[in-house]
Amino acid sequence: MPEPILRPAHPVSPRPPPARPATLSVGDQPGGLDNSSWNRFRGGKLVAQRTLDLHGRTAQRAFHALHSFLHAAHADHVRCVEVITGRGAGETGGILRRELPLWLNLPALRPLVLAATHPHAANPGSVRLLLRRPK
């Protein structure tokens, strides 16, 4: 006599992957942040608790420094940080200034950052970041 095949009463479906945060753009209000908080952040009312200056670093060293800096700040429950890339030369700025938005959207960093803006319109060489609260 063959063995009966046991099947679960309810089929087990795999969990869907966690929702990937939307692409972060410097200066654009993200979803999930109310207008009042966005205006306080964008207007400079939230003071940066830590600052990272990337001047004089190669792109590779700057990326590793940013990665370590953001993970440490997030682990320490820091809410607002500032990253200084410098203005750079030329119309589009330096390599660090151009690469920063790309780095912030990488899977290792994007879940940490809620919003990004320039602290002052006349200073594109600095970006203030609002970090997500740790879970």
For residue 115, being part of any structural domain is answered with yes
Give the pLDDT band of residue 13 (cuts 50, 70, 90).
Answer: low
Task: Retrieve residue 6's tokens.
Answer: 């046991």
Q: Token match 């590793």: residue?
A: 64
Please list, in sequence order, all residues whose beta carbon lies within 8 angstroms of the beta carbon of residue 87, skipping any fewer than 6 positions away.
93, 94, 97, 123, 124, 125
Is 115 in contact with 130 (CB distance < 8 Å)?
yes
Give the pLDDT band of residue 115 (cuts 50, 70, 90).
Answer: very high
Number of domains in the chain: 1
Q: Give the global pTM.
A: 0.79
For residue 18, being part of any structural domain is answered with no
Fill in the DSSP letter of residue 15: P
Strand partners, 130: 80, 115
Query: Residue 80: which domain range?
Result: 36-123
Q: Hey, is 131 helix, strand or coil?
A: strand
For residue 17, being part of any structural domain is answered with no
The whole-chain average pLDDT of the chain stands at 85
